[in-house]
Structure 1
Amino acid sequence: MSDLEDVRKRRLGKTAQARKLRQTETEEEYRLWGDLRNRQLNGYKFARQVPLGGYIVDFLCREERLIIEIDGFHHANSMPDTIRTLWLNEAGYSILRFWNHEITRERRAVLETILAALERRLFQRDDILRFYPAIVRTEN
């Protein structure tokens, strides 16, 4: 549990790795960042390539604790991604995943889905939309 409590604690090398990822972004990351940066999406603030725990997430809206991930074909049925998603969910973050081709071909639908998650119109797990809500623990 202590790992989850310090999810924002800096990990050795992660800041430099995140900086490098920002400099070598994919075409899809570049396109989506163009729509998310400078509070362009209904005033929500996003950061890109953000270290969280031992991971680096593509995009993060801190105020809503929403992570946006863009996946290439190598992420299909990836066990490391499943473990990563569960860890981040348990740390209180919701995750919304998109395939590269969705960013390229269906960007308006992608942005509408992101807005739905930000406005809490998406709130339960949806494997079709690839939305994984934060796991909220209640103390007995």
Structure 2
Amino acid sequence: MVEVDGSQHAHDIRDVHRDETMNRNGRSVIRVWHIDVLQRRKQLLGTIVAVLDGRLDNKTIALDLMFLPAHSNEDHL
């Protein structure tokens, strides 16, 4: 799932809960800011392609990007 957020989502506990639920159900989550979609589209698309290609597969939390890879069954062992 790719989600484009505004600043009102910066510390929203509902988003955290939804992200965790999506991860447990085998879905990865990429969360970006709307301003980056408007001003840094090429870089953002490059990041999304890196996730799809498997080049970015580690949990990443930065100021301009949050990527939570899906949990695999092996993660729960």
TM-score, scaled to structure 1: 0.51
Residue correspondences, number: 74
**Larger RCO (alpha carbons 8 Å, 6+ apart):** 2
Question: Aligned ranges for residues 1-140 of structure 1 at < 5 Å?
Answer: 67-128=1-62, 129-138=65-74
Identity, % of aligned pairs?
32
Q: Distance in 2 between matches of 1:97 and 1:77?
A: 13
The alpha carbon displacement at 1:77 in A equals 1.1
Q: Distance in 2 between matches of 1:137 and 1:127?
A: 23
The alpha carbon displacement at 1:87 in A equals 0.2
The CA RMSD over aligned residues, in Å, is: 1.3
**1:107-126 CA distances to partner (integer Å, 9 max, x unpaired)?**
00010000000001111100
- Larger Rg computed on CA atoms: 1
- Match of 1:124, SS state, is coil
The alpha carbon displacement at 1:137 in A equals 2.0
- Match of 1:109, SS state, is helix
Q: Distance in 2 between matches of 1:82 and 1:95?
A: 11
Q: Distance in 2 between matches of 1:87 and 1:122?
A: 21
Note the residue ranges of structure 2 that are not aligned, 5 or more in a row. Answer: none
Runs of at least 4 residues of structure 1 off by over 6 A? Answer: none
Q: Distance in 1 between matches of 2:38 and 2:15?
A: 22
Note the residue ranges of structure 1 that are not aligned, 5 or more in a row. Answer: 1-66
